[in-house]
Amino acid sequence: MPVIVQQLMRWFFSPRPMAGSFLCGLLVVSSLGVAYSSHQTRNMYRDLQQLEKDHDDLEHEYEKLLLEHSAWADYTRLNELAQDKLQMTAPETSEMVVLR
């Protein structure tokens, strides 16, 4: 092996450069971890926004259904259905029987 390579190897594997190399590697790993966690945070926030929008849409739909339900169950509508579809009428006073 050439002398320069031996000197570089000796210098690189001495305690001081090894600590520097270790710290540089730790810095790279840490920066990758920060970038990954930032990416995950943005994805989760996007998912949260979508879920909140879906929740709001479902809540709006539920309110519309409650309103529609109350419209279908209205007394005047039921009375009209009874008269039109079932030919039901209110009894005359002469047809009423009072039980004691």
Report domain extents, the chain.
34-58
**Taking the complete model, does pTM exceed 0.85, yes or no?**
no
- Average pLDDT of the chain, as a whole number: 88
The predicted-structure confidence for 69-94, as pLDDT tens digits, reads as follows 888 878 888 888 888 888 888 888 88
Cα maximum dimension of the chain: 128
Nearest to 71 by CA among 47, 95, 43, 63: 63
Total residues found in the chain within this entry: 100
Cα gap 2→10, rounded to integer Å: 13
Kindly state the tokens that stand for 86.
């079932």
How does DSSP classify residue 72? H
